[in-house]
């Protein structure tokens, strides 16, 4: 595998593409904005003028797109990846989308002899830059094997979790756990502060026991300081909670805490915090009790 | 501080008392059951025939009791600790009870020149045996300083988190976080299994990222195996969720995820799982979707 | 039955006592505040100087008290109703308290040959004044029969729903239904307004179909106008949701919607709306989405 | 308006079409199944062989279809209503679909000079047969005026609630209220039964006060008897809760009780009750506490 089409060089996609170039692959990239083109050039990629061009005569196409409809348009649409890629090309979709759409895209690919993997990531912009993303991969074992060297240029932990759609399902599970945990940590913190407990020491104790989690490890300090610079934006997590609930519906399961956590994330979005870090859920939980910045009233 | 009264040598209390004896303190213990008396003797403690006897002529009294009314009875009741202890005695209540009761007990103690600390623990039976408990301490700084050598015989991490009641509040926060996290992990697992994802690999990926937590670290394997031997029993966690909600009420805050998680724990209790490990919340979440042991139907 | 002790002539109790006087009973009342004494005098009752006096040489004692501890103190305490009432007296507790406390009070009464009924009411101040309250009665059938003429002076619908505590359980069920329904109507209204629907017409349609309920019938207009003058105060409903959750715990059942609704009521209380009508839950639901008075932002 | 195309003669659509015929309109109907064709013939309608035929040379087209994608396909697809209808035709979509799709359909219609109303109904099969449906109409006032005589053949209460999509939003609000209310009534009932209260008398008292609602009025008896013959099926309500949550997302509001109620409906669906009446939510709430048919255990 030598020549890679790369579609979607945004905040995550651009540094990911740069890592692919750095590893010695020939990258032909496409992005809609001028900003994207600059990023691709800076990364050392060739710039294609269309999805079709980025999908023609390549060994693999990587897509990093915002949402399910974008993937449907870019892959399944007229002049899309499947219209342009030759048989035997591998499509690696690293967007976070609905598992059902991932399965549909995989089926459409297979009908054209294009192997398809769903390979969403976690680890944020920093992980994308440093090539240390976690990648959850769904698809056929031989396609995963083929893609592995490519994926290893972008991520550190790459796990094949099941058939098509499985990568997206694990990502959905990841997002519901993260949102729920931020919510619970927020509730714990509000309880401590409202009860006159030293919140720094309180969270420290919590972090050290069975209640410990990565949110406490990484975000306790910024949450205590009400510092909500992203990081991962509320608006993206709001989108992802929609995906998680859709995945639950498709899998015919009921997830009560997830259903409620999704509404708390929706509240963060609705109250104008869409561009803040998802830890701003704390502000929603506080406001519910008429509190701001650790104090009663505003 | 040399002579310690020790009231409540149960599953947690007995090994805690043994560690105090081992550290060279003279321990006078009291427990209501024959089993308790045996445990005290085995631990090398003297056996008192009443709460009063265990509270007389001692430097400190340690209580490890099941619930708020037990502490009220033993400490505030006729012939209780405060009736018997001389001025200057220190009362260290290591039970998990309502923060409000802890504050009331502290006030009653101070009126009799008895310093009172609330010092609930986490770390389970194993931590009690090994003397590696985490202890969350509420009370006056000088009382905490006095108690420190004693507490260090039982725990490894001892943190003074605030005034009277603060220890119980942190414990309540701990319990809501643990219950909520078990619930979220259960929902993630049910989603994975119902979607055809390899659950072992899926949980492994989740544990490695921002969704990671101590429940995944310590209980993923037993949850995957539906092995619910305690550990920490559902019935105790059910009691503790009541304390958490009472603490929220007393602090005048609203905790929506906690409110829902408390009902899921109540469901585990109500469906006959009171004596199982709290990770049996998984069985509740599964049953909600008509699933058992990772499969549809029963 | 001719001579009635009446303890607790507050906003509800005073007009209830007045109706008993009006029906020809001899009423000996006791209240702690000067205001209470005035009310009793105005109502035509004799004024007792203690609970004991109001419980001595009477055929029945009626209590209308704020919460469970008040009933425990007044009935079970030293110099309380059970210390003073002669055998054969009937105690009719019309307070809203925990079903478990009602059962304990009934047991204590029976041990002294005092029949006890729990008989909480709904219908508000207006119902108390007009004598049109609904009364949910728990206790023995013959005690209910004895009390019926007395109860009929205060209420219009008097239903014997089961043994001791059953009246309080039905009241708890009433309160969870009312809080939950106000919450749901609030969510429906916020959805309508945020979607550009005419909210008045929208609620009108909802009220006419399967979604119809008494909250829409009686409170839609005031909710649309954000007019939250009580009516029934948030702080009382907050107390009652605590009773409902305690009742669920005692009955060993899990009530998820109730658990969440209780936190929304707690949010109304915590955000300073304790003295407003319980329909102010709408303001909580609105604020969660960054909305005020039917509009985005504030 | 004389000649009406009618697409979707299912359980609801067939009796609705029959009422249109009965009122003197000429109806040209189209349905995909043989059963549909029989129904149309029985109703006295002419049978068209395609959507196009049913949309050609008619004054209005009525659609009664299962879900959003069906409406998109039938109206916007190739050979669909908008491809076939002449300028000036009125499209009245009486399906329950996402408000956003209703708005998109309306826009597409207006681009072709086809007026579009969203006009979902409530009242069930019985209402459809008797012509007593409630109809919630979104769209332009003059289109509503034109459609009114036609709508009055099918419904008794026809309310114009706002612009395009408003009808669907009100329907979504209706469905969240109904699901939430069934859930609350179920929780109340489980609490009563588990507490030893006479459930029939308990529900009767609740129905008479501020807690009263149409579910108690119409379904208490069948719920007490665990008689879950539809009525309105769980699987349809499950679909509709998805619409309600999508509508909330589109309107940028957070609806916590709705989010949880949606998961309880999902649980009913997931546990094999999709074809039962939506009041089978009671069985979900019961099972959560290890109860069946009003009793502990099974």
The per-residue pLDDT for range D202-220, each reduced to its tens digit, is 999 999 999 999 999 999 9
- % of chain D surpassing 90 pLDDT: 94
Q: Residue D119 in contact with residue D151, Cβ under 8 Å?
A: yes
In whole numbers, what is the pLDDT of chain A averaged over residues?
Answer: 96
Q: State the count of interchain CB pairs (< 8 A) between A and D.
A: 50
Other C-beta atoms closer than 10 Å to the C-beta of C42 total 12
Contact residues, chain D, for A264 at CB < 8 Å: 254, 256
Contact residues, chain D, for C237 at CB < 8 Å: none
Rounded to a whole number of angstroms, the distance from the CA of B286 to the nearest CA of chain D is 10
- % of chain D surpassing 70 pLDDT: 100
Over residues D22-33, the pLDDT tens digits come to 999 999 999 998
Closest chain C residue to the Cα of A272, Cα to Cα: C290
Contact residues, chain D, for A255 at CB < 8 Å: 263, 266
Q: What is the pLDDT of residue B298?
A: 57
Over residues D147-203, the pLDDT tens digits come to 999 999 999 999 999 999 999 999 999 999 999 999 999 999 999 999 999 999 999
Asked if B267 and D289 come within 8 Å (Cβ–Cβ), the reply is yes
Contact residues, chain B, for D284 at CB < 8 Å: 288
Rounded to a whole number of angstroms, the distance from the CA of C181 to the nearest CA of chain A is 18
Alpha-helical (H) ranges within chain B are 13-22, 34-43, 51-55, 68-71, 81-84, 99-111, 124-130, 141-152, 166-194, 199-208, 214-224, 234-251, 256-268, 281-288
Q: What is the DSSP string of chain C?
A: --EEEEE--STTHHHHHHHHHHTT-EEEEE-SSHHHHHHHHHHT-EE-SSHHHHHTT-SEEEE--SSHHHHIIIIISTTSHHHHPPTT-EEEE-S---HHHHHHHHHHHHHTT-EEEE--EESHHHHHHHT-EEEEEES-HHHHHHHHHHHHTTEEEEEEEESTTHHHHHHHHHHHHHHHHHHHHHHHHHHHHHTT--HHHHHHHHHHSTT-BHHHHHHHHHHHTT----SSBHHHHHHHHHHHHHHHHHHT---HHHHHHHHHHHHHIIIIITTSBGGGHHHHHHHHTTEETTEE--
Q: What is the mean pLDDT of each run of 10 residues along chain B (298 residues)?
A: 94 95 97 91 94 97 96 96 97 97 98 98 92 96 98 96 98 98 98 97 94 96 97 95 98 98 98 97 98 88
pTM for the whole structure: 0.96
Q: What angle do CA D224, D225, D228 make, to 5 degrees?
A: 105
Over residues A116-152, the pLDDT tens digits come to 999 999 988 889 999 999 999 999 999 999 999 999 9
Q: Which two tokens stand for residue C51?
A: 């609970």
Residues with Cβ within 8 Å of residue A109, at least 6 apart in sequence: A75, A82, A91, A115, A116
Contact residues, chain A, for C266 at CB < 8 Å: 289
Distance, CA of A229 to CA of D137 (rounded, Å): 44
Determine which of D246, D259, D287 to mutate to test the interface with A (most A C-beta atoms within 10 Å): D259
Query: Tokens 């209310």 sit at which residue?
Result: D181
Asked if B270 and C254 come within 8 Å (Cβ–Cβ), the reply is yes
Asked if C270 and A284 come within 8 Å (Cβ–Cβ), the reply is no
Asked if D251 and C191 come within 8 Å (Cβ–Cβ), the reply is yes
Q: State the count of interchain CB pairs (< 8 A) between C and D.
A: 253
Residue range C100-126: mean pLDDT, rounded? 96
- For B266, the closest of C254, C267, C269 (CB atoms) is C254
The neighbours of chain B, by the rule of 3 or more Cβ pairs under 8 Å, are: A, C, D
Determine which of D245, D281, D288 to mutate to test the interface with A (most A C-beta atoms within 10 Å): D245
Asked if C271 and A288 come within 8 Å (Cβ–Cβ), the reply is yes
Q: What is the pLDDT of residue A124?
A: 86
Kindly provide the ipTM of the predicted complex, given to two decimals: 0.95
Asked if D270 and B290 come within 8 Å (Cβ–Cβ), the reply is yes
User: End-to-end CA distance of chain A, in Å?
Assistant: 59
Closest chain C residue to the Cα of B248, Cα to Cα: C266
Distance, CA of C150 to CA of C165 (rounded, Å): 20
Give the DSSP H or E segment for D145.
Answer: helix D141-152
Rounded to a whole number of angstroms, the distance from the CA of D52 to the nearest CA of chain C is 32
Asked if D271 and B290 come within 8 Å (Cβ–Cβ), the reply is yes
The neighbours of chain D, by the rule of 3 or more Cβ pairs under 8 Å, are: A, B, C
Just list the catalytic residues of B: 171
Name every residue in D having a CB less than 8 A away from some CB of A: 238, 242, 245, 248-249, 252-256, 258-260, 262-264, 266-267, 269-270
Rounded to a whole number of angstroms, the distance from the CA of C49 to the nearest CA of chain D is 36
The neighbours of chain C, by the rule of 3 or more Cβ pairs under 8 Å, are: A, B, D
């Amino acid at each position: 595998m030598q020549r890679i089409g790369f579609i979607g060089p945004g905040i995550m996609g651009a540094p990911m593409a740069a890592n692919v170039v750095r590893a010695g692959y020939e990258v032909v990239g496409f992005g809609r904005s001028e900003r994207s083109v600059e990023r691709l050039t800076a990364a050392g990629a060739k710039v294609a003028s269309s999805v079709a061009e980025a999908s023609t005569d390549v060994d693999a196409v990587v897509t990093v797109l915002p949402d399910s409809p974008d993937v449907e348009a870019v892959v399944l649409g007229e002049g899309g990846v499947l219209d342009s890629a030759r048989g035997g090309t591998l499509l690696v979709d690293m967007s976070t989308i609905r598992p059902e759409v991932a399965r549909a895209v995989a089926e459409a690919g297979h009908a054209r002899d294009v192997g398809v993997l769903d390979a969403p990531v976690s680890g944020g912009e920093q992980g994308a830059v440093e090539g240390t993303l976690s990648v959850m991969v769904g698809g056929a074992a031989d396609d995963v094997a083929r893609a592995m060297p490519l994926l290893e240029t972008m991520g550190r932990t790459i796990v094949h979790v099941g058939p098509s759609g499985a990568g997206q399902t694990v990502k959905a599970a990841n997002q519901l756990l993260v949102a729920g945990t931020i919510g619970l940590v927020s509730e714990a913190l509000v309880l401590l502060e409202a009860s006159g407990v030293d919140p720094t020491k309180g969270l420290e104790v919590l972090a050290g026991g069975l209640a410990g989690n990565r949110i406490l490890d990484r975000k306790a300090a910024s949450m205590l300081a009400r510092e909500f610079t992203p990081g991962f934006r509320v608006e993206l997590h709001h989108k992802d909670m929609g995906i998680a609930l859709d995945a639950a519906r498709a899998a015919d399961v009921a997830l009560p805490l997830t259903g409620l956590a999704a509404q708390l994330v929706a509240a963060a979005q609705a109250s104008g915090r869409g561009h803040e870090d998802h830890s701003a859920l704390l502000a929603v939980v506080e406001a519910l009790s008429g509190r701001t910045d650790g104090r009663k009233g505003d």
